[in-house]
Structure 1
Amino acid sequence: MTVIWGLDLKEIQWNKFKSSNMFTRIYHLRRTKMIVYQLAMILCVCSESTGTAALSDYVDQQSYIERHHPGVSVYNNDFVGAASYNIFVGVAVATIFGAAFFFDLFWPERHESKSVRLAWKICGVVVSIMMLSSALTMTIITATRSVQVHGTDAAGAREFWSESKKKPAFVYRKNPKALASVVLAWPGWVFTVVSAIILIASQNHDDVHGPKSNYGRQMEGGEKIPEPEPANGLHNQTLRE
């Protein structure tokens, strides 16, 4: 099978997605990474998706009004810019932690150079900062700004809004899609930060002990792993009155 950058492609198998493999105790922080990385990706991608839907509505609304009413201009660049940046950041988060997820899933014992391991840490920190800036930008723009229609009065702007096929609210905070994007961005940022912390902690552990957990190293050494004590000291006894 083909080997690229020291990664054997035969390891890419569907059975790696079994819960018994994804959540094995053999590798350090394995279960935590599998869950937290996915939460960061899902929340950030959902934030960018709802933001994209709102952005598309505003662009369509602008095109309709300006096409049917020459001399009238619609300004929504603030939200379009914020949502576009949120899309970029969401893709960046999904790229970094998506790659980390699949690399750990398929090649948990891979060898990486010091520069590559440093790059993982830097990327984790950078996307965390980017996601914070995106969440702040989306929050401020959505909470405080609105569409501006130039070349007509308030009554004309309302009439143009009612004529448009797409009718997103001129006030951004009244648009449920924009609000959903903001609401999802904050937990997305939280899990992005947690993912970065876990990634760095895992890398530091691997540098000293390798990728396996204490449990995994004991299993590798052939040591007998004691079973956890059942609750209340009860084994398989049947309670009788």
Structure 2
Amino acid sequence: MSRLTALVLISTITFNIATFALGAATLAEYLNQRSYLLGLVPKANIHDNAYIGAASYSICSSFLSALIFLIVLIIQVLRRTIAYRVLIVCSVVPSLIGFATAIALTIITATKVVSFGDSVGPRVTTYLDEAADSDGVPLEYRKDAVSIAAVVIAWVGWAFTVVGCALLLKSWRKKLVKQTSLGSQGEKAAWSEDGSEHGRA
């Protein structure tokens, strides 16, 4: 494995861990916000399931991606062999789930807000909005610094994942070509030692 591939894999693991941490932080923020606002107005219905679901998915997918690439990195360092198809799956799956994470966080952060539906009137809504701002976690996700950071890191992590996949597939393809060429050379050598080729000549 080349140094570039190793560096990209380590960076990919690092950014996936960062995505995991930011996902956990945002999830904790909005779960705490829900508890805080319900403490102020118990009858309010807090609608933030979309973001909580996206953050939960981000936590799971980034942890899985980091784990997969860590296993692949260890396998490459130890020079162990695994079925080519299994390695392809191990490289492609993280890029797909990473893209899903990034696009979901982007859309929800850009378009969604914490709302209360018809459970409270306009005055109570304004009061809860001000309370959320004073607590440091705004109702609009795009105004939350941690939410924006989670989106940015998710996209950077996905970019490194794609580059890592490309480098891994390229190196594995070279290895397969090399093994195939060595096998064909071995067959030619065996054919020559058998004497059949000389006999025909």
TM-score category by the smaller chain? 0.7 to 0.9
Matches within 5 A, 1:13-28: none
1:78 to 50, 53, 74: 50
The amino acid that maps onto 2:141 is Y
2:81 match: 111
How far apart in 1 are the matches of 2:34 and 2:172?
A: 48
How far apart in 2 are the matches of 1:59 and 1:154?
A: 23
Deviations 1:90-130, CA, capped at 9 Å, x for gaps: 0121011111112222x12x233x3xx21111121121111
Find out whether 1:195 has 2:170 as its counterpart.
no
Indicate if the aligned counterparts of 2:19 and 2:153 stay in contact, CA closer than 8 A.
yes
Find out whether 1:55 has 2:27 as its counterpart.
yes
Find out whether 1:156 has 2:128 as its counterpart.
no
Indicate if the aligned counterparts of 1:41 and 1:98 stay in contact, CA closer than 8 A.
yes
2:110 to 139, 143, 157: 143
Indicate if the aligned counterparts of 1:41 and 1:97 stay in contact, CA closer than 8 A.
yes
Change (3 A) 1:58 1:154: farther
1:184 match: 153
Find out whether 1:69 has 2:36 as its counterpart.
no
Change (3 A) 1:132 1:192: same
Query: 1:161 deviation in Å?
Result: 4.6
TM-score (norm 1): 0.68
The structure with more helix, counted as a fraction of residues: 2
How far apart in 1 are the matches of 2:102 and 2:112?
A: 15
Q: RMSD of aligned C-alpha atoms?
A: 1.9
Structure 2 runs not aligned, ≥5 long: 180-201
Query: 1:166 deviation in Å?
Result: 4.5
Change (3 A) 1:203 1:134: same
Runs of 4+ in 1 over 6 A off after TM superposition: none
Find the residue that maps to 1:149 and give its secondary structure.
Answer: coil
The amino acid that maps onto 1:141 is I
Deviating more after overlay: 136-145 vs 65-74 = 65-74
Indicate if the aligned counterparts of 1:78 and 1:141 stay in contact, CA closer than 8 A.
yes
Q: Identity of counterpart residues, as a percentage? A: 28
Find the residue that maps to 1:61 and give its secondary structure.
Answer: helix
How far apart in 2 are the matches of 1:178 and 1:101?
A: 30
The structure with more strand, counted as a fraction of residues: 1
How far apart in 2 are the matches of 1:37 and 1:186?
A: 16
1:88 to 60, 83, 91: 60
Find the residue that maps to 2:116 and give its secondary structure.
Answer: strand
TM-score (norm 2): 0.80
The amino acid that maps onto 1:129 is L
Deviations 1:50-79, CA, capped at 9 Å, x for gaps: 122111111111122224422211111011
Deviating more after overlay: 59-68 vs 85-94 = 59-68
